[in-house]
Amino acid sequence: MKVKDIMTTDVKTVTPKSTIQQAAKIMASCSIGCLIVVDSKRLVGIITERDIMREVVAKNKTPSKTKVQEAMTGEVVVIEPDAEIEDAANAMTEKKIKRLPVVYNNSLIGIVSSVDIVAAEPRMMEQIAQLFLFRSKKKKAAG
């Protein structure tokens, strides 16, 4: 099965100059955990709830004054629509991420998540579970 068969095409985006408050409102209203950051339709980053917590809330920054570019991840791992979903799962496991923007000819056309993969291919649940186990092991080591 290909990434294009399971990806979400209605990708919510934000610009680097948008505020964290604006980004959080979009995430809340759409019930999603991340936004793709685009500048003139070019993918330049990704902002997640975790990024907001780590880079804004934990540092006591003002969400209405902090720009997305200050908290986003700029080096984004992407995948092409014709890639196999096993390749997406491998990339997620290797990079310890839960979402991959789908790019074709340098244009954002979708996003695929670990949940999308497990829903489409339940046999991959064990591999995807490594993403969640990694985080819990990390928490135990820190605690």
Global confidence as pTM: 0.81
The total of structural domains in the chain comes to 1
For residue 30, give the CATH number of its domain: 3.10.580.10
What Å distances lie between residue 10 and 30, 36, 88, 114, CA to CA?
A: 11, 11, 19, 17
Q: Is the dihedral of CA 12, 16, 20, 22 positive or negative?
A: negative
Residue pLDDT, tens place only, 32-81: 999 999 998 789 999 999 999 999 999 999 999 999 999 999 999 999 99
Average pLDDT over residues 78-90: 94
Check if the beta carbon of residue 27 is closer than 8 Å to that of residue 68.
no
Domain housing 136: 3-142
Mean of pLDDT over the chain: 88
pLDDT at residue 136, rounded to an integer: 47
Q: Over pLDDT 70: what percentage of the chain? A: 85
Residue 135: pLDDT over 60: no
Compute the C-alpha angle 53/58/59, nearest 5°: 120
